[in-house]
A and B are shown apart, each in its own frame.
Chain A
Amino acid sequence: MICVTYIEADGTSHDVHVDAGISVMEAAVRNNISAIEGECGGAAACATCHVYIPAEWQALTGSASEDELAMLEFGEGVDERSRLGCQITITQEMNGMTVLTPVTQR
């Protein structure tokens, strides 16, 4: 199992343990982390799974595609760390990764 830590804007922290192959959005939704909605089910079509990836993990998560960047324009508080959680597939190497969530997904 891979451990990913989600830290909400108010500091609330959740460790989740998941198998490789699911997305950062799915891992959150399946573990009832309501700061990530994932309304469209992972189609990069709603911008409700906006997350921040700390700089030290970005080499593993890669960067956003053009389509993803277009959708991120609808996110709140978007900055250079912003990604759509549905577009990041969790791998074994991401064990211990921290993901930050924005103040709101709406």
Chain B
Amino acid sequence: MSARKFTQIRFNHYDPEIMQDPYAVFAEVRSKCPLGHSDELGGFFFPTTYEGVKRAFSDFRTFTSTDGTGLPRQPLPLLPVDLDPPVHTAWRRTLNRFFTVEAAEADRERIQQVADTLIDAFIERGYADAVNELTRPFLAMSMLPVIGVPLEDRVELGNKLLWLVHNRVVDPEGGMKVYNEIGVYLTELAAKRRLAEQRDDLLQCLITQDFGGQKLDDGQVYQVLLLTLFGALDSTSSAMSGSLLHLARHPEDKARLVKGEVEWPVALDEFIRFTTPIQALRRMATKEVEIDGGTLYPGDQLLALNGAANRDPAKFPEPEKCILGRDATDHMSFGSGAHVCIGRHFARLMLGTCLKTMLARAYDFTVEDGFQPEYTPSEARAIKSLPIRFTPGNRVHAV
């Protein structure tokens, strides 16, 4: 084979050091041959331009998901994300009705209550860890009930899922143990529901509906539930904590939002672009193809990096700045193509609710000067802890 064109660099989305600032790696690659290659995790290529990443997500015939989308491979396929159209399309169209704009809007009141309940727990005190007291429990409390997890199990299940997302690569043995525990739990949850009274929710749909002409077995129900939970936890919570950090450091942006100088939908797109909670999903090349100045061959592993697309200055000028008011509707944080994030309408609603409620109830929240956020590695890049201070306020619900 003649010399292949790519930029060789050490990149690994599970490396805690690199993931403090992956954008520096992407920028370096983009400035040379924008197709990167790393020898880590078995070796993989990664486009760093917006167009390159978008193609990897969009052209499912050339960049298949059927070899799995986790890097490294998940122990079991996740459904339906590890399928290509048209098989995937049948699944997706069945699941979509639980995730529409209308479905999210119908849940607005409940999500607002989650925000208020969590803020009540620290509002009188004047300080909080916004990650561990607000954004992470926000997601667990909002989304675990949706799939039918009983109240008493939510904290433990949420903690196990978070641990698995961030540690499965650094501790494979512990990862398998937790993976199996979650598997047993979710499979039992599905089995119990088969015997219970019917409800109109996602879990019922997974049990009752046909997917591509067939009913799902308990194992497949588990594969969908696990994906739903992975997608729902340190994704939106990361957008929330990253946005809160920006607002804590930029009181002028708080003022613009509260005065209505920037429309919320516009601001939310920019927050979601800027924070890019989900950083990476794998594809495999099915044919020889040119991308970002290099060539891939069948069987080559490709990592599609949402954050690389979102920080391409050719698409978003001064991409390292969070500029409320810029048009960021084309951001890649939800991916693109057949697998565009199914939960994106819920994510926007939850993020908007979290930020608006904090601005209404603890407007002057700040972080200490010089605060350096530490980010989790893995597909989900999230701030680990965000200590904030604010003028104490009153609860909205009695104790």
Binds B, one of A4-12, A13-21, A41-49, A55-63: A41-49
A80 within 8 A of B: no
Alpha-carbon distance A43/B283, docked complex (angstroms): 16
Interface class of chain B by DSSP:
helix
User: Would A106 and B96 count as touching, CB distance under 8 A?
Assistant: yes
A18-57 with Cβ < 8 A to chain B: 39-43, 45-47
User: Would A43 and B92 count as touching, CB distance under 8 A?
Assistant: no
* Contact flag A46-B89 (CB < 8 Å), given A40-B58, A106-B96, A106-B97: yes
B51-64 vs A: 1/0 string, CB under 8 Å?
Answer: 00010011111000
B90 within 8 A of A: yes
What is the count of residue pairs linking A and B with beta-carbon distances less than 8 angstroms?
47
B72 within 8 A of A: no
User: Would B89 and A42 count as touching, CB distance under 8 A?
Assistant: no
| Interface size class of chain B, counting residues whose CB lies under 8 Å from the partner chain | 20 to 34
Interface size on A, residues (CB 8 A): 14
Alpha-carbon distance A43/B336, docked complex (angstroms): 8
Alpha-carbon distance A70/B90, docked complex (angstroms): 12
* Contact flag A43-B58 (CB < 8 Å), given A71-B85, A73-B86: yes
Across-interface contacts of A47 in B (CB, < 8 A) = 89, 93
**A44: min CB distance to chain B, Å:** 8
Across-interface contacts of B100 in A (CB, < 8 A) = 106
Alpha-carbon distance A45/B340, docked complex (angstroms): 10
User: Would A45 and B337 count as touching, CB distance under 8 A?
Assistant: yes
B338 within 8 A of A: yes
Alpha-carbon distance A73/B85, docked complex (angstroms): 12
User: Would B93 and A71 count as touching, CB distance under 8 A?
Assistant: no
Alpha-carbon distance A39/B92, docked complex (angstroms): 11
Alpha-carbon distance A70/B340, docked complex (angstroms): 20
| Of the residues B58, B61, B93, B97, contact of A74 by C-beta under 8 Å | B93
A65-83 vs B: 1/0 string, CB under 8 Å?
Answer: 0010011011000000000
14 pairs, CB–CB < 8 Å, chain A vs chain B: A41-B54, A43-B57, A43-B60, A45-B58, A45-B85, A45-B337, A45-B338, A46-B85, A46-B89, A46-B92, A47-B89, A73-B86, A74-B90, A106-B100
A residues contacting B by CB (< 8 A) are: 39-43, 45-47, 67, 70-71, 73-74, 106
